[in-house]
Structure 1
Amino acid sequence: MNNIPMKLKVCGMKYVENIKQVAILKPDYLGFIFYEKSKRNFEGIIPDIDKRIKRVGVFVNEYIEIVVSLAEEYKLSLLQFHGEESTDYIEEIRKYLPNTEIIKVFSVKDTFDFTMLEPYEGKVNYFLFDTKGKEKGGNGVSFDWKVLANYNSKTPYFLSGGIGLEELDAIKAFIKLPQAKQCVALDVNSRFEIQPGEKSIKKLKEFIKQIKKEL
């Protein structure tokens, strides 16, 4: 069994009333995508929600000045970088936002070269593994989690990519494996959507209920 408390991130939030409804379920993180090419691009206001829910801003190869501006405007607790951001880029961000945690995303298909993580060790707080697809996230497809058996980093990671109610049995099996030891959060998005950016409260409630039985 995973001895690290598994948290939940609901990403791709877009609509005020839906944000309020999801916040009532008390996920650990809410993700807001700041990427114009995304169907879930966020441009609205974040309503008053429980302060314990951390706000995550998702960016793709964005200008540092814009990232800093949006992080300050929306009081983001974490920044998730989903593009080809270099370690120099990360270090520059740190100068402006030293207290903001950073997640670096890596896309996985059938295999993954874990040496790609080495330059980021000690520079980011978390890695996030998502499924390689046409979109920068939100593809609704899972990758083979067995790939993570080769994960030997001390950096904790988020597990993403096509996680839905249908994956509950697979998740329950996964969290008992050695490679889940460093997994600190499940990241859900498109498989819980009514439309891009709007989440099904019914599905999320059921997912949370089932996951809590295991963790």
Structure 2
Amino acid sequence: MTRSRKTTQPLVKICGLNTLTVVDAAVDAGADMIGFMFYARSRRAVTPDLAQALGEEVTGVTRVAIVVDATDAEIDAITATGVIDMIQVHGKEDPARVAELKARTGLPVMKALRVATKEDIREAEAFFGAADHLLFDAKAPKDMKGALPGGNGLTFDWTLLDGLKIDMPWMLSGGLTADNVAEAIRLTGAPGVDTSSGVEDKPGVKSPERIRAFLAAVKQTHLETAT
């Protein structure tokens, strides 16, 4: 059954989806974006074939491929599925690589930046005019065992985003859950939020109930701030 929905604000991306059950839960609950993880080290990783099977089930939602320093061949295999609307780069990709990917795929590119200090925020300037979207995620400590480029369940100091002036779409990520997303939105004014581990029962296993709770919390916050 093909799913579709109307867009709501602020934008919400549910990342690391790997079963039809949780794809349906995210879309039905009102997600604007769903993310498929193409990074073999992640417990949320999917193959192009699985992503195609899941992505064909949805319409009206932006389907995002999350990659980490992917090769051209890997990018080609992912986009050949025909179910990807956006590429999210979460590795060491520089502005030149972002531009290459946009030209190669014809798709918008979101650049994820890992944040621990104000200097990390300032690195966003290098991607103005190169990326179409930015995502601010938490930077894992160097001594954190098993840390991934993202999806580690860590938050960062949201006050680092004070005074942020970016004339392009951006999202907040990093340890967001149904319990803290309202505070995160109020403190940062983020026009979009992203979660992965925050809607899981255990690493790699999404919970439809947690997904619905997260979307409900975002919607409630939006209603409260809009009045």
Bucket of the pairwise TM-score, normalised by the shorter protein: 0.7 to 0.9
SS of structure 2 residue aligned to 1:46: helix
Within a 5 Å distance, the mapping from 1:123-202 to structure 2 comes to: 123-133=130-140, 134-174=147-187, 179-180=188-189, 183-202=190-209
Paired residues of 1:68 and 1:93 also in contact (CA < 8 A): no
Letter of the structure 1 residue corresponding to residue 23 of structure 2: I
Query: 1:8 maps to what in 2?
Result: 12
Pick from 34, 40, 48 the counterpart of residue 38 of structure 2.
34
Letter of the structure 1 residue corresponding to residue 127 of structure 2: Y
- Unpaired stretches in structure 1, ≥5 consecutive residues: none
CA pair 16-164 structure 1, distance change in 2 beyond 3 A: same
CA pair 62-91 structure 1, distance change in 2 beyond 3 A: same
CA pair 48-91 structure 1, distance change in 2 beyond 3 A: closer
Letter of the structure 1 residue corresponding to residue 46 of structure 2: F
Q: Distance in 2 between matches of 1:25 and 1:114?
A: 31
Pick from 53, 65, 69 the counterpart of residue 57 of structure 1.
65
SS of structure 2 residue aligned to 1:186: strand
Paired residues of 2:36 and 2:45 also in contact (CA < 8 A): yes
Q: Distance in 2 between matches of 1:110 and 1:88?
A: 24
Query: 1:204 maps to what in 2?
Result: 211
Q: Distance in 1 between matches of 2:78 and 2:181?
A: 34
Paired residues of 2:38 and 2:65 also in contact (CA < 8 A): yes
Q: Distance in 2 between matches of 1:82 and 1:110?
A: 18
Tell me the CA shift for residue 16 of structure 1.
2.8
Deviations 1:52-92 (A, max 9, x none): 11110000011023113202314211100000112221222
Q: Distance in 2 between matches of 1:147 and 1:104?
A: 18
Identity %: 24
TM-score by length of 2: 0.82
Letter of the structure 2 residue corresponding to residue 85 of structure 1: E
Query: 1:105 maps to what in 2?
Result: 112
Greater Cα offset, 89-98 or 106-115: 106-115
The alignment status of 1:119 with 2:119, answered yes or no, reads: no
- Unpaired stretches in structure 2, ≥5 consecutive residues: 1-7, 141-146, 223-227
TM-score by length of 1: 0.87
Instruction: Tell me how many residue pairs correspond in the alignment.
Output: 205
Tell me the CA shift for residue 96 of structure 1.
1.9
**CA RMSD, Structure 1 to Structure 2 (Å):** 2.0
Q: Distance in 2 between matches of 1:128 and 1:210?
A: 20
